[in-house]
């Protein structure tokens, strides 16, 4: 199926690893020119993808990314707000004011700034924004209360923009993945290692138990989330906007 993305330009935040990297790869495979940014160097070089190293929480960084993309390519058709992170806490009120502010700056404010900077360009010929949220936006838990709240706020913001800018031909979708085999879940400080240390078991056992709760019986591969994003930002999904789409292997009905 031709998704109608060839020759268009996408900006992806948080593009170094995981879902962001997979989205860059999927969009480039459809013939898009992709410009990504993250704090670290990209894990793999991908044809058609330009990567900038930038701390997007710094003042002016996101605006500079959008300006760079426009200067390099002349236009933007797609924005993927993927930059984000999270930390396992000891309870709902255990995060400090500074930790709340830091997480909201990355998980929410970067997307707000990117959207604000990109909208004038997306309105020219119509475009699409995909916000990478989380299943925890609708299924919050005490040990990631700040993460859950930031992802819920991202969904709310996306719906506001979707409603306001629909007349200008701009669509906004929120993608809510469940557990995905990325560094965020599997790496240092992620749920697998953290819960293993707390329970005296192994990360592999934590993953096995998590997968038992998912009807499809496994965690997602980043490419599976990226394929959903790619379709949603394409003209093939031209009548889809203002929605939260769960990509969780059927896990949500069992919550």
Residues 6 or more apart in contact with residue 131 via CB below 8 angstroms: 81, 111, 154, 155, 157, 158, 172, 173, 174, 175
Please, what's the b/e burial string for 167-193 (b: 16 or more CB within 10 A of its CB; e: otherwise)? eeebbbbbbbbbbbbbebbbeeebbbb
Instruction: List the catalytic residue out of 147, 165, 195, 239.
Output: 147
Closest CA to 171 of 228, 238, 82: 238
Rounded-to-10 torsion of CA 187, 221, 87, 199: -70
Residue 147 annotated as catalytic: yes
Q: What is the DSSP code string of 34-95?
A: EEEEESS--SS--TTEEEEE--TTSTTHHHHHHHHHHHHHS---EEEE--------SSTT-S
Counting every residue written for the chain, the total comes to 255
Distance CA 72, CA 59 (A): 21
Q: Is the dihedral of CA 72, 74, 78, 81 positive or negative?
A: positive
Catalytic residues: 147
């Amino acid at each position: 199926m031709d998704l109608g993305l060839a020759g268009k330009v996408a900006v992806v935040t948080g593009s170094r690893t995981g879902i962001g990297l997979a989205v860059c790869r999927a969009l480039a495979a459809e013939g898009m020119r992709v410009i990504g940014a993250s704090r670290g160097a990209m894990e793999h070089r991908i044809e058609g993808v330009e990567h900038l190293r930038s701390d997007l929480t710094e003042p002016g960084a996101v605006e500079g990314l959008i300006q760079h993309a426009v200067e390099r390519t002349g236009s933007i058709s797609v924005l993927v707000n993927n930059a984000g992170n999270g930390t396992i806490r000891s309870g709902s009120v255990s995060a400090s004011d500074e930790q709340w502010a830091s997480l909201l700056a990355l998980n929410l404010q970067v997307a707000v700034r990117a959207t604000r900077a990109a909208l004038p360009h997306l309105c020219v010929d119509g475009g699409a924004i995909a916000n990478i949220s989380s299943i925890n936006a609708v299924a919050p838990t005490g040990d990631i209360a700040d993460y859950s709240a930031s992802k819920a706020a991202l969904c709310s913001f996306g719906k506001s923009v979707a409603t306001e800018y629909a007349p200008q031909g701009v669509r906004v979708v929120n993608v809510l993945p469940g557990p995905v085999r990325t560094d965020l879940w599997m790496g240092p400080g992620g749920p697998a290692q953290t819960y293993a240390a707390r329970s005296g078991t192994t990360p592999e056992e934590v993953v096995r138990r998590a997968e038992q709760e998912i009807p499809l019986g496994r965690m997602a591969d980043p490419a599976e989330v990226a394929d959903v994003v790619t379709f949603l930002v394409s003209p093939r999904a031209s009548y889809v906007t203002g929605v939260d789409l769960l990509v969780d292997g059927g896990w949500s009905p069992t919550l």
